[in-house]
Amino acid sequence: MIVPWEIYRAYGDTALLAELWPNMVRWLDRTEQMAAAGRHPARTGPVRPHERYLWDTGFHWGEWLEPGDDMSGPFEEFVARDKSDVATAYFARSADLMSRIAGIIGRPADAARYATLAAAVRAAWQAEFTGPDGAVRPGTQATLVRALAFGLIPAELRPAAAARLVALIRAAGTHLGTGFLATPDLLPVLASTGHADLAYQLLFQDTPPSWLAMIASGATTVWERWNGIDSHGVPHESLNHYSKGAVIGFLHRHTAGIQLAGEPAYRRFRVAPVPGGGITWASATHESPYGRIESSWRIRGGELELDVLVPPGTAAEVVLPGQPAEQAGPGRHRYAGRYAGRTTGS
């Protein structure tokens, strides 16, 4: 249901949600049954009530290829790992999306049922993978990113969780430590929790693991592994595997600042650029169902100048750093405000 949901958000296509509803129901029913019926072999002792909502059976790839997880051991050992922290997080996320989708396509009873299921799975995840102070287990960057992105951590504990994520990144020498699943949310989570400067430091990091380390090694495509070509020039796995290229979403939604807001299909949207990393200008366009959206900004003389194009039939909320939001109707608009951030270096 994640893909249909994202298509709906981008295009407002409720017919697709209705068409795929039976498939999504079957998938989530199977997930719920697997969680209730099975138990990972590594779990011992009495079964606790929340375990009926832990999805800890069956095979999946988990976070896949976090830095340092070189997968050099027997594949059977990888298959046997308990990856329920990942699967249960997606169980909660999926149930939440199902509740929202049900409400959109006129199924109020299903919306209520899946909202209840999402709350139960989220509570199970918290019971199994967080401590009283909100510390997550396993204590990895990926787990924290996912918990923050999916709303698995109570609101009052989010600042502490974000601080732990920052500490892990700094302990890694300001390097990321995420694999396939959490990497798309890493920089957005940092930016949304008040750590945009660190997000840009990771974006411009040029030693491995990093995006720019690939470029420094001559890459013209995104690798499956962060170390797709090792120090001896030996390639590992696919050298054209887009997953980590999802960082482009950060550039569109945060650097350029084009974001959905309130309504699908960009009928209402937000332009809220987040400058940083020494970048002095950025420009992006999005072809929405209503027409082209443009966001283009430049910093000069201590001032940030922003140009926005709002398509017919839509409305935008425009937010300059440190300033109140302004509403903009169709047409081209220009804004300017003081900018006190760094504009040199990275």
CATH number at residue 60: 1.50.10.10
Same domain, yes or no: 186 and 306: no
Is residue 134 one of the residues assigned to a domain?
no
Distance of CA 122 to the CA centre of its chain: 17
State mean pLDDT over 263-269.
Answer: 96
User: Has residue 257 got a pLDDT over 50?
Assistant: yes
Same domain, yes or no: 199 and 287: no
Same domain, yes or no: 44 and 8: yes
Looking at 233, 255, 277, which one is the last position of a domain? 255
Is residue 135 one of the residues assigned to a domain?
no
End-to-end CA distance of the chain: 38
Is residue 216 one of the residues assigned to a domain?
yes
CB contact at 8 A, 136 and 89: no
User: Has residue 7 got a pLDDT over 70?
Assistant: yes
CATH, residue 269: 2.60.420.10
Looking at 230, 255, 280, which one is the last position of a domain? 255
Q: Which pair of structure tokens corresponds to residue 40?
A: 């990972």
Count of the separate structural domains present in the chain: 3
User: Has residue 305 got a pLDDT over 50?
Assistant: yes
Same domain, yes or no: 317 and 292: yes
The half-sphere exposure of 247 on its side-chain side, counting CA atoms within 13 A, is: 18
User: Has residue 345 got a pLDDT over 50?
Assistant: no
Is residue 344 one of the residues assigned to a domain?
no
Same domain, yes or no: 244 and 275: no
CB contact at 8 A, 195 and 158: no
Is residue 231 one of the residues assigned to a domain?
yes
User: Has residue 150 got a pLDDT over 50?
Assistant: yes
State mean pLDDT over 335-346.
Answer: 73
Give Cβ neighbours of residue 246 (< 8 Å, ≥ 6 apart). Answer: 183, 184
Average pLDDT, whole number, for the chain?
94
State mean pLDDT over 50-56.
Answer: 96
Beta bridge partner(s), residue 338: 303
pLDDT digits (tens, 9 = 90+) for 57-105: 998 999 999 998 867 778 888 888 899 999 999 999 999 999 999 999 9
Beta bridge partner(s), residue 304: 299, 337
Is residue 143 one of the residues assigned to a domain?
no
DSSP 245: G
Same domain, yes or no: 10 and 125: yes
Q: Please state, in angstroms and rounded to a whole number, the distance separating the CA atoms of residues 163 and 159.
A: 6
Same domain, yes or no: 2 and 106: yes
| pTM exceeds 0.85 for this model | yes
- The domain of 3 spans 1-129
Is residue 138 one of the residues assigned to a domain?
no
* CA nearest neighbour of 143 among 172, 185, 115: 185
Same domain, yes or no: 233 and 267: no
Same domain, yes or no: 5 and 110: yes
Q: Which pair of structure tokens corresponds to residue 24?
A: 């999504």
Looking at 98, 129, 160, which one is the last position of a domain? 129
Q: How confident is the model at residue 346 (pLDDT cuts 50, 70, 90)?
A: very low
Predicted local distance difference test score (pLDDT) of residue 313: 97
Q: Please state, in angstroms and rounded to a whole number, the distance separating the CA atoms of residues 250 and 253.
A: 5
State mean pLDDT over 243-250.
Answer: 94
Same domain, yes or no: 225 and 195: yes
- The single-letter code of the amino acid at 284 is A
Same domain, yes or no: 4 and 116: yes
Is residue 332 one of the residues assigned to a domain?
yes
Strand order in the sheet with 331-338: 281-288, 291-300, 303-310, 331-338
Q: Please state, in angstroms and rounded to a whole number, the distance separating the CA atoms of residues 4 and 179.
A: 23
Same domain, yes or no: 176 and 100: no
Beta bridge partner(s), residue 334: 307
CB contact at 8 A, 168 and 144: yes
Q: Which pair of structure tokens corresponds to residue 316?
A: 């935008």
CB contact at 8 A, 166 and 158: no
Q: Please state, in angstroms and rounded to a whole number, the distance separating the CA atoms of residues 68 and 177.
A: 8
